[in-house]
Structure 1
């Protein structure tokens, strides 16, 4: 936890807030925190700065906040990701938040098992928890927007054009395609498939929507590795 991320419900006065639970245990066990210490802090979807620890017990910690800086800028990217396996989803949500993705769209695909959509890890509170962990890692405060699209064809045909407007449209897919570009500055919409990749029908539909297939080489990467590698390469 490189930043203590406060949420609106933590505030007990205008510049004072308390934490409990996981964040408190981290302070006690990792930092051996004592009153008077200063910590990097931020408020969810707001500013960052410093938090002075006023008092701490086994139940809660009280801070005085001084927030004077804006959080890191988001990457100008909409990431379209075929819904991964539930355990992998948690790690990817953290990665997406820590790397600064502005918008994540989880979509269905032929190779996505129907049971994946029933996982409790897709519940709003579970998604929020993993995103917060990613923000804390990266000293960020702004949550990425997360959307769920359970029907691939209607999403691509009816909604994708508006969501990807005025951006470089790329679909990551192994094959005899151009290499993924590097160090872009313009907005990007990137589609990454499931384990095993998109099926050809899905690649064709994305191409019809204006997406250009790109690849990272001969090695086939796990989805969570591909997400990190593609984001780092693009930006």
Structure 2
């Protein structure tokens, strides 16, 4: 790779409610290609628990899928991967994995703030140099008791709207990661 520099270390992190295994297999290379430092795969009330028994969630398979995306991006930095079927348990560990003062935490939801309300300067002025985005399951985060949106909010996540349309997980993930890249301070 003469004359080409390696991509900078990723400063984006993704908390993803685990989609159907086939969809996850398609998404993993895209996630790696977008440049993610940490991939947190979790359960949610609308995530089928059977997904966590799939071979796709075994580390060797996850790493192979992620490596495909890294190769396309000409990168070698493998994301740290955490698989936790229980969202509440993952959120209780989140401050240890990625402290609140380190990353701006955003969750995609139609009722959230518009992009212009979450300016790049906001992340800088709060002293945060990284972004963690949370993407819910295909049917969205639960708003029933206990509300997953409330749990995410209690964990420091701000809602961010991508518009009123309901988006598939893969579309929301790619879009939020691209927007997160633009929000990062240089």
TM-score, normalized by the shorter chain, greater than 0.5 = yes
Number of equivalences: 168
* Runs of at least 4 residues off by over 6 Å: none
8 A Cα contact 1:182 1:234, kept in partner = no
Measured against aligned partners, the alpha-carbon deviations of 1:57-78 in whole angstroms (never above 9, x if no partner) come to xxxxxxxxxxx97521133122
Question: How does 1:146-185 map onto structure 2 within 5 Å?
Answer: 146-156=81-91, 158-165=92-99, 166=101, 167-175=103-111, 177-180=112-115, 181=118
Question: Displacement, 1:117?
Answer: 0.8
Computing the radius of gyration from Cα coordinates, the structure with the larger value is: 1
Are positions 1:124 and 2:59 aligned together? Answer: yes
Alignment of structure 1 residues 1-235 onto 2, 5 Å? 49=1, 71-156=6-91, 158-165=92-99, 166=101, 167-175=103-111, 177-180=112-115, 181=118, 186-200=129-143, 201-235=147-181
Taking structure 1 as the reference length, the TM-score comes to 0.67
RMSD: 1.8
Change (3 A) 1:96 1:163: same
Structure 1: tracts of 5 or more residues without a match: 1-48, 51-67
After superposition, what is the alpha-carbon deviation per residue over 1:78-120, rounded to whole angstroms, capped at 9, x for unaligned? 2100011111101211011111111100011000001111111
Deviation at 1:221, TM superposition (A): 1.0
Which deviations, in whole Å up to 9, do the C-alpha atoms of 1:132-170 show, x marking residues without a partner? 1101111111111111011111221x2112233221111
More helix by share: 2
- TM-score under structure 2 normalisation? 0.83
Deviation by residue 1:173-219 (Cα, 9 ceiling, x = unmatched): 122x2124465672111111010110121100111111111110011
Structure-1 residue corresponding to 2:184: none
Q: Which has the higher contact order (CA 8 A, sep 6+)?
A: 2
Contact 2:15-2:39 at 8 Å conserved across structures: yes
The DSSP-based 3-state class of the residue aligned with 2:31 is helix
Residue pair 1:82, 1:194 contacting (<8 A) in 2 also: yes
Q: Which 5+ residue runs of structure 2 have no aligned equivalent?
A: 182-186
